[in-house]
Amino acid sequence: MQKVVPSNKKKFNLEFTVGTQMPTNLKIQAYDKNKQYSFYYNIQGKVDDKGRIFDLKFPISPDELVIQIYPDKFDNYDEFRRFGNPIEKQILIKETKIKPLKTYSIWLSKDDRSFIDFAEWFSNNAGILSATNPDGVPSIYKSSNGKFEIDYFNIIKNKDGNYVSTPARIGHNSGIIEVSKKDFIKYTVQGRMAILLHEYSHKYVNPKVGLKPQDEIGADVNALNMYLSLGYSPIEAHLVFLKVFATANNEFNHKRYLVLNDFIQKFLNGGLKEYYK
């Protein structure tokens, strides 16, 4: 099943109920029809005849948003259309609501707002922007005020020329963020925002709250505070961090995930005092 929503770059919540005649694991995808690698959501969920509510948050959106719903046994929607016609009739969207996006009050500095605007632009366009040039030099993108810079590589290299597994990193002195296109095209637009806010927090937020720039857990929490306050999806934050941690599965990253999961739950339930004593 496919639906085109004239989103017009608006901020909104899209809530709909999906039902199936038989219990089915469905993929729920939302993407920009005019840009390659521009998914806003790429989630899965089990649905049956009782129906299940999906509440999708869009702090940023394209001109036209495509929503696709199909069983996860198919690799993509085109395959589903070719081979899943009988199943398609069993998937029903029972109710659709477009609601105002819920955001949370948070103090943001002039730099914070400038970086958020820049990060949203980059996240929206990362799939179509050029990365490493033929001479090996990354494509360089800067914020409108010139303060923030992203060096876009196909894959990030160390000084010794070896590739590194990280999707992004920031120079604690320079403030330049290096981003791997190979990784970013695998993430949703919302997941990219979570990663970029994490890198920004290392240099520009951690020191303001008494943390060292290299404090990873501090950067996680400070990034999530901005990310969730702006109305971004907690589901997509979980998914992108799990993808990052999967490339470095160790005890410290396990601890980081427990902390960020705890923070997200407390944020959504209004119980964050312990994080800001």
Helix (H) / strand (E) element for 186: namely none
- Cα 71 to Cα 178: distance, rounded to the nearest angstrom: 36
DSSP single-letter state for residue 74: S
Per-domain residue ranges of the chain: 2-99, 110-276
- pTM beyond cutoff 0.75: yes
Burial class (CB in 10 A: 0-12, 13-18, 19+), 77: middle
pLDDT in tens, the chain (277 residues): 888 989 999 999 999 999 988 899 999 999 998 999 999 999 999 999 898 999 999 999 999 999 999 999 999 888 888 887 666 668 888 778 999 999 998 889 999 999 999 999 999 999 999 999 999 999 999 999 999 999 999 999 888 878 888 999 999 999 999 999 999 999 999 999 999 999 999 999 999 999 999 999 999 999 999 999 999 999 999 999 999 998 878 899 999 999 999 999 999 988 665 444 4
- Cα 207 to Cα 230: distance, rounded to the nearest angstrom: 22
pLDDT number for residue 85: 66
Using alpha carbons, select from 144, 136, 151 the residue that is nearest to residue 118.
Answer: 144
Domain 2-99 has CATH 2.60.40: yes
